[in-house]
Each structure stands twice: as structure tokens, then as C-alpha cells.
Amino acid sequence: MSGTGTSSATVDLLVLGGGMAGLSAAAWSVRQGRSVVLVETGELGGSALHAGFIWTAPSLDVLREAIPDGDPRLGGRLIEDFEPAVEWVRSLDVDCQPAVEVLRFGRGHQTSLLNYLRACELIVRDDPRSEIVLGGAARRLLVEDGEVRGAELLLSSGETQIVRAEATLLATGGFQGDPELRASLIHPQARDIPLRGNWYSKGDGLRLGSEAGAAFGPAGAGFYGHLMPSGVNFVEHDDFVALSLYYSEHALLLNLDSERFVDETVGDHLNTMALLEQPEARGLIVSDSRVREEWIMRPYVEGVRPVDTFDLCYRRGARCAVAEDLDELALMPPEWGYDGAAVRQALVDFNRACADGSLDPPRRFDAAPIQDPPFYVIEVVPAITFSFGGLRIDPEAHVLDGDGHPIPGLHAAGADAGGLYVRAYAGGIAAALIFGLRAARTALETAAVGSPR
């Protein structure tokens, strides 16, 4: 049913986006007695539906070492608010397992994020003054005398709704669902890479914030994602995890010219960004029986069920090959476009460099040779989960204008916010949770003392 009418509502907080950041902010606000309208274009939960850990660095020093170009003020907020955020999750009767190591430098908790997101949703739905609007989107923010006072929504019915609010939170999930924004803001070759997450985060928050005078940045921040097998359609939500080739950290990664170009061992998510900038944004990962036994067949993070990723990729029709000895590597299928002899020689050279300590690039964490046949080869491409660049915010989750000043009434969190992660990453779920809660708290405190001028 469609219509052309216009309705209106007035609430304390308008949340645009119903993922980890938006649902957290909405539920916390309702618990504080605030009224909320939450608007979600696609599916409640967003990319958080496919995650299972809340984690980040254990200290600011460790975070700064891992992400030296990130905003240290935002990093400080991430570290300071981590434990209170986990306690908030537990307060909703959602179990958080004891902390385990994540990505060598991080610490975090395995959590039923489905249960958490559902608990947040029910808190909002059960509040008679609040509402969740599905299938709607914001056309524009209401800007009055330099302050954001809500938004004009287009509802799924075709009607327009004006929602006036003391505070508005942009939490639409980033711009990774828009190929043109990926190409212009990440890398030209990012236009055609697979999307390892929801498709409806298409930069709405970026557009709305920019129209209200918000600054974007930092330039060249990159994205979070993982290497995935080329030529495979991701048909189930579980594919986003099951087909991710985390073990590239222990394999040999070659570009189309059969050359190494990155320290593979620092992290598969970093290999992913590096491969995007190589010819045709595709390459090969080569592993052996040792890597298969020690890394493919074991869980990537403690507590997660291991998956035989190579076998799964093979059964799904990916470009996979098994070489029973070194010489068989030279028999690469010609339709793949790689020089088989060069691939074989690359492995020979790699193993020799491992032995004499001359690896270039060096390998920081696993400099063992790949020499125990059979050899397992998969063609890989970078896949994006969410973008790092976004609207600039301060540690209180205020959106900043081009001069670095807060735009009154406007906040951002999750992948709509930029500055925290630059060319590296320390937990997307934690960042969304923490800055979503911080935005809600800031909005409540601002309302108590009056809007800043």
C-alpha cells in the first residue's frame, strides 16, 4: 500500500541504522527513560548478525602499535569504555565467555550477538513512547540555525514522516554497499570486489552528514575484510565466515605476476587491503601439509569450530588445485592467467629465503618454509565487510565539521564514523558498541544541560 501523506513525531533520540551501534544506542536510551525512533532500511542487526566476538586491544599502547595512524583520542575512548560496554551486554542477560586472544594482540569475549541484538530490539519495541521503523530511510536531516533537529523520512508505504529529535545518531553501517563510493573513497579496483556483509549500507550516513556540513576522513583509511575464494557466489550468511581464508597469514601470497608484496603473517585482513592494490586485485595463496594441519584445520580464534576451508572452497567450485609435488605447481590451469613456472619458482625462492633469512618482505610471525607436499593453491580476491573512512567524530561521538567543531545535535557511530581505524583494525563490533553507547550517553548529557552553541 502506498500513499502520499505526511506524518510527524517528536522524540528524544532519532537513530538512523539498526545495526550494532544503532540498536545499542536505542536500547540504552530507552533504559534511561528516553524516547527513541530507530529507522532501519534493511535487516535489523546488520553485519553484526554474522559476528561472534566483542574484542579490541588490551591497552592504548598496544592499540597504538597496531594502528599508529588512528586518532589517539578515539583510541583512548575505545579502550576506556570497553569493559563497561561488555558489562552492559551482560546486563541484558547475554552471556560473554571468558576473554581469549584475538589476532595475536587483542583480547575479547565470544558472545551470542544474535541474543544481544534481539534483546536490544525488544527493549525498544516494548517502550510505548518508542518505535522501530523498518524499510524506511532518511531523505534529509532537519538543520535549523546550524543544529540538527531530526530528519525527514521516506517510509516503505511511500509516505513521508518528519521526526523531530533532540539528538540524531547516524549509524547506517558505512558505504561498502555502494560500488562507486568504494571506487572513489577506497581504491578504483574496489568497485568490483565482493561484499562480505550486508548490501544495504550504501553511504546514507555519509551523504546525510556531508549535507549537514560534516567532515569526511581520514583519506585512504582503507577497509576491513578478508580474502575469499574467487568465482564463488556467497549465498548463505554463514559463507561470510566459512569461506574466509584466514590462514593466508601462514601461507605464501602471490600476485598475478607471481610476486610476494606483503608480510602475510601480520594478518589476513591486512593481506586483503594489500591485494586490492595489486594487478587485477587477485592472487594465489599457496600452502602445504604443515599449514593445512596446523592452521587450516584448527580454529582461527579459540572457541570457534574449525572448518576445512580448502575442502569447502573446492566443493563450492572455487579455483582450487592440489599439487602432489613441487613440479606440479608449474601445471597451473592456463585459464587462470598465471605463469605456472613462475609460481613454482616463487615457492622455491621463498623457501630458500626462509632458510637464509633474506625474505623480502620479511615475515614477522611465521618464517617457516612451505615445503611439505602436497601443496594447496586457491585463487583469492579481497572482500569488504565495512569501510574505515567516515564522518569525523570526537571521543564523545559528536560529528565534526570541517573546522573540527561539533555539529550540534548530530552524532555518528559504527562504520559511519571515521578516524578510529586507519589501514588496520582492532574489532568492528566493539567499536560500534562503544561509540553507539557513547553517542547515546552524550545525547542524554547534552539534553540535561542544553544544546551546545
Note whether 286 and 376 are same-domain residues.
yes
Smallest CA-to-CA distance from 250 within 358, 333, 352, 372 is with 372
What is the domain-level CATH number for residue 196? 3.50.50.60
Contacts of 448 (CB under 8 A, 6+ apart): none
pLDDT of the residue at 451: 46
Query: What is the DSSP annotation of 316-369?
Result: TT-SEEEESSGGGGGG--GGG---HHHHHHHHHHHHHHHHHT--SS--SS----
Note whether 232 and 202 are same-domain residues.
no
Q: Give residue-wise pLDDT tens across range 252-310.
A: 999 999 999 999 999 999 999 999 999 999 999 999 999 999 999 887 776 667 778 99
Task: Count Cβ atoms below 10 Å from residue 189 Cβ, excluding itself.
Answer: 19
Smallest CA-to-CA distance from 26 within 132, 114, 151 is with 132
Band (4; pLDDT cuts 50, 70, 90): low
Residue ending a domain, choose from 384, 416, 439 = 384
Domain assignment present for 438: yes
Note whether 368 and 419 are same-domain residues.
no
Which of the 8 DSSP states describes residue 293? Answer: I
Q: Give residue-wise pLDDT tens across range 28-87.
A: 999 999 999 999 999 999 989 888 899 999 999 999 999 999 999 999 999 999 999 999
Domain assignment present for 407: yes
Residue ending a domain, choose from 384, 414, 435 = 384
Domain assignment present for 192: yes
pLDDT of the residue at 237: 67
Note whether 433 and 352 are same-domain residues.
no
pLDDT of the residue at 6: 77
Domain assignment present for 375: yes
Q: Give residue-wise pLDDT tens across range 98-121.
A: 999 998 899 999 999 999 999 999
pLDDT of the residue at 235: 67
Domain assignment present for 29: yes
Residue ending a domain, choose from 367, 384, 401 = 384
Which of the 8 DSSP states describes residue 24? Answer: H
Band (8; pLDDT cuts 50, 70, 90): confident
Query: What is the DSSP annotation of 218-285?
Result: -TT--EEEEEEETT----STTHHHHT--GGGGGSEEEETTS---S-GGG-HHHHHHHHHTSGGG-EEE
Band (362; pLDDT cuts 50, 70, 90): very high
Does the pLDDT of residue 390 top 80, yes or no? yes
Note whether 258 and 272 are same-domain residues.
yes
Note whether 143 and 13 are same-domain residues.
yes
Domain assignment present for 312: yes
How many domains in the chain?
A: 2
What pTM was computed for the model? 0.93
Note whether 192 and 248 are same-domain residues.
no
Q: Which three cell numbers stand for residue 259?
A: 610476486
Note whether 32 and 168 are same-domain residues.
yes
Domain assignment present for 199: yes
Domain assignment present for 1: no
Q: Calculate helix-pair angle for 72-91, 428-449, nearest 10 degrees.
A: 90
Note whether 18 and 62 are same-domain residues.
yes
Note whether 168 and 265 are same-domain residues.
no
Average pLDDT over residues 131-145: 97
Does the pLDDT of residue 409 top 50, yes or no? yes
Note whether 32 and 122 are same-domain residues.
yes
What is the domain-level CATH number for residue 270? 3.90.700.10
Average pLDDT over residues 332-341: 96
Give the chain's length: 453
What does pLDDT average to over the chain? 94
CA distance 203 to 189: 18
| Full domain range(s) for residue 31 | 6-220+388-449
Task: Please give the backbone phi and psi of residue 375, each rounded to the nearest 5 degrees, phi first.
Answer: -105, 140
Note whether 169 and 282 are same-domain residues.
no
Tell me which of 448 and 327 has the higher pLDDT.
Answer: 327
Does the pLDDT of residue 375 top 60, yes or no? yes
Contacts of 150 (CB under 8 A, 6+ apart): 14, 141, 142, 162, 163, 164, 165, 168
pLDDT of the residue at 5: 66
